[in-house]
Amino acid sequence: MSERNILVLCTGNSCRSQMAEAFIRRLAGERFEVFSAGLEPAPEIHPLALRVMDEIGEIMEGQHPKSVKTYLGRMGFRYVVFVCADAENSCPRIFPGVLNFVNLTVDDPAKAEGTQEERLEVFRRVRDELHDKIERWVGTLDA
């Protein structure tokens, strides 16, 4: 049922969009079906994304990177949520019929450099920023 579908879109579908999918799934409850995809999906979810989500009890079980082609022309969406400026700029209107494009972009934690702890701090900051943006946005949604 497309009026209940939300797609979170990013470049690699390995960090931000995976975290956003988990947050929206929890915060939107049973009002929406949530999916995520990437323009150039990575082979797996970034281990530090899994780690920082696990730290706060967010489960990403069953999630894995997927190509936007998995959904293009096969599913309808009420909302397409961009968490990555590259994805938004590369495909701003690829889903016919979608009237609600949402920009919740955050920095790419996979590009973080430094020690393991410094990189973890970037992942935590991005996770928390993404959570706050999603929490505010989900609070405005109608079922």
Give the active site residues: 10, 84, 91
Q: Please, where are the H alpha helices in the chain?
A: 16-27, 47-55, 85-90, 116-138
Q: What's the rounded Cα separation, in Å, for the pair 94 and 34?
A: 18
**Strand order across the beta sheet in which 79-82 lies:** 33-38, 5-10, 79-82, 100-103
DSSP 8-state secondary structure symbol assigned to residue 110: G
| Contact (CB, 8 A) for 78 and 5 | yes
| Contact (CB, 8 A) for 134 and 26 | no
Cβ atoms < 10 Å from Cβ of 51: 12
